[in-house]
Structure 1
Amino acid sequence: MTVAPREAPTPDSVDNDYLRKLVLKIYWDGAQYPSVLVPLGDFFGVGHARTVNFASLPLQMSPQDGKAFNSFFHMPFADGARFELTSECEAEDMWFYYYIDYDAFDELEEGFGRFHASWNRQCPTDGVEQGGQSNAEFLFGGENRDGHGNYTILDTTGRGHYIGCVLNITNLRDTSDWNWYGEGDDMIFIDGEPWPPRLHGTGTEDYFNTAWCPSQSYAAPYHGLTLPGGENWSGQISTYRFHVEDPISFTTSIKVTIEHGHANKRSDDLSSTAYWYADQPTPGLTLAPLDQRRPRQG
């Protein structure tokens, strides 16, 4: 897919954030509710209504400047598929081009899950004031012994497997002190298990397969940092992790969460797209209204 305003945009155009105003919906097998409900840009792997050249295994943005959106996720269906793109742009008419390729078979084998994707945002996350804490105490002190208050990437029921996410962060902490945003542990709760979950990581960069507070762009088949942020990790960040070789299966439910800073102390702008397969189309996905989707400046 590729999309662009019919008229050349200017810095004052009201729809420069059109990648959050265009919404992709996909329905499987005559379902009343979409199984994919995500702003267009976010679905294809980069947040903040921005584009950048990158290549992962399932998603890619290609030159020029990431304007070509490509998805290679398998999306099986039995009785039909419907793809919709809706525009909530306020002024711009958009050019939109696409290819959808598919194979037709006489029947679908048993056991193929239906592809899903959903979007979430919390702006800002519910952190704490630094107060009299030193910078080190604020960034590294305290404990989280139950996972409550973590940012939620995916919370769903049924049987299926989780295949990854894109996480976007706008660093809202205004300081000249060391301002790394990513000391949050990933915690994935499978089938209603109590804390501590079996999958409990050690920091944001560790879950996304990077190390030591990365500040460089990087793209690999299963993980990458497409927007690394500015000086002292300021501004807008976007990172992805796909569980292709290591899908996380669940039988009754899954809740994928991550701390916003160590022990949920940071108050940043977090948004995310989660991708998973479920044995049946999942009803009831929701998407925040436009005024809650607009990206803020870093």
Structure 2
Amino acid sequence: MLGDIFGNPAAGLWGIAVAKNWKSRQISSYDVTGGNQDFVTIPPGGKVVVGEIEGAGCISRIWFTIRSGDPDILRRVILRFYWDGEEDPSVETPFGDFFGCGFAEYSHHTSLMQGMTSGGYVSYWPMPFSDGARLEAHNLSDREVGNLYYNIQYHEVEGVGEEVARFHAKWRRENPTEIGENYTILEAKGRGHFTGCVMSMQSYDKGSAVFLEGDEMIYVDGEAHPSLYGTGTEDYFQGAWYFTHGCFAAPFHGLTLCDKVDARVSAYRLHVPGAIPF
């Protein structure tokens, strides 16, 4: 059972020496003719199903690379992932933002769970399911995606325990935001745990970083006062002094874009460990 795997302390790095009880499989865009055209194309306004899996399992790694004549293609291709036959996707986010950087920008970096690496885009987030999974890429651009390469590795298991949650990732945008009003990163109902975010921000005023003075506030289970109250936006992303030394990438936090001329930043924070339950 997958729940036994997640609940076992040996599931971490020390678990490399422990025998596994799953079957490893991989879906990819390989050329079925035996040639070297190992990619798919997506017409303008079209979509492609990059993975469809039956039964129970857990996605352990996703890798893509993409090519298009649209300079904003990383914002205009939308990833939608569905678990257990659901009609509404549990994952719905622009391509680039999902892998760690906003503004349709490529930023070479690695974190523990996702990154952009020498032209590739990779995720190691575990994504369990008990009754099938479907992964789609939608092209909202007016230009073709000429090359989309992918491979998706997953574990095939006998079952998934009831205690195993599902992976969710949602993209939201407010443009412009309201001065003096808090911006809501996530509003979730039910049971789960918050494991992090990728956040991209731009100031009203070029060259100004004052917008980073906002404090994070995390309210759990309807409480009136936040359980977690921070000291500044760059502090939440583990930087300081308006990210004084520029971009960096660490396992659980990083700054993937730092444009001081146009006052744009993109950063990630992973609550791994330290997930926030609700």
Q: TM-score, normalised by structure 1?
A: 0.69
Q: Any conservation in 1 of the 2:256–2:266 contact (CA below 8 Å)?
A: yes
- Residue in structure 2 matched with residue 186 of structure 1 by the alignment: 216
Q: SS where residue 172 of structure 2 aligns?
A: strand
Contact 2:81 2:92 in 1 (8 A): yes
Percent identity over the alignment is: 44
Q: 1:114 aligns to what SS in structure 2? A: coil
The runs of at least 4 aligned residues of structure 1 exceeding 6 Å deviation read: none
Matches within 5 A, 1:143-158: 149-158=181-190
Matching residue within 204, 210, 214 for 2:243: 214
Whole-Å separation in 1 of the counterparts to 2:237 and 2:94: 22
5+ residue gaps, structure 2, are 1-63
Q: What are the equivalent positions in structure 2 for 1:1-298 lying under 5 Å apart?
A: 1-5=64-68, 9=69, 15-63=70-118, 67-127=119-179, 149-174=181-206, 179-194=209-224, 196-215=225-244, 216-231=246-261, 234-250=262-278
Cα pair 2:209 2:263 within 8 Å, conserved: no
TM-aligned CA deviation for residue 179 of structure 1: 4.1
Q: Which residue of 2 aligns with 1:143?
A: none
Deviation of the 1:109 alpha carbon: 2.3
Matches of 1:126 and 1:42, distance apart in 2: 22
Q: 1:71 & 1:53 partners in 2: Cα distance?
A: 14
Task: Give the whole-Å Cα distance in 2 for the aligned partners of 1:189 and 1:150.
Answer: 13
Q: What's the CA shift string for 1:211-255, capped at 9, x where partnerless?
A: 121141100000001111224xx33210110000100000xxxxx
Letter in 2 for 1:4: R
> Secondary structure, in 3 states, of the residue corresponding to 2:156?
coil
Q: Deviations over 1:99-148 (max 9, x none)?
A: 000111111123110000000111111116xxxxxxxxxxxxxxxxxxxx
| 8 Å Cα contact 2:93-2:169 kept in structure 1 | yes
Deviation at 1:19, TM superposition (A): 1.1
| Separation in structure 2 between the aligned mates of residue 116 and residue 242 of structure 1, nearest angstrom | 14
User: Which SS does the other structure have where 1:42 is aligned?
Assistant: helix
Q: Is the 8 A contact 2:209 2:242 kept in 1?
A: no
Aligned residue pairs: how many? 214
Q: How far, CA to CA, are the matches of 1:235 and 1:197 in structure 2?
A: 29
Name the CA distance, whole Å, in 2 between partners of 1:225 and 1:237: 7
Do the aligned residues in 1 keep the contact of 2:109 with 2:256 (CA within 8 Å)?
yes
Q: Classify 1:20/1:179 alpha carbon distance in 2 versus 1 (closer, same or farther; 3 Å).
A: closer
- What CA distance in whole angstroms lies between the structure 2 residues aligned with 1:30 and 1:78? 10
1:82–1:228 Cα change, 3 Å: same
Give secondary structure in 1 for the equivalent of 2:212. Answer: coil
**1:103–1:127 CA distance, 2 compared to 1 (3 A):** same
| Match in the other structure for 2:47 | none
Assess, with a 3 A threshold, how the Cα gap between structure 1 residues 174 and 210 changes in structure 2: closer, same or farther. closer
- Report which structure shows greater RCO (CA 8 Å, sep ≥6): 1
Cα-Cα RMSD: 1.4
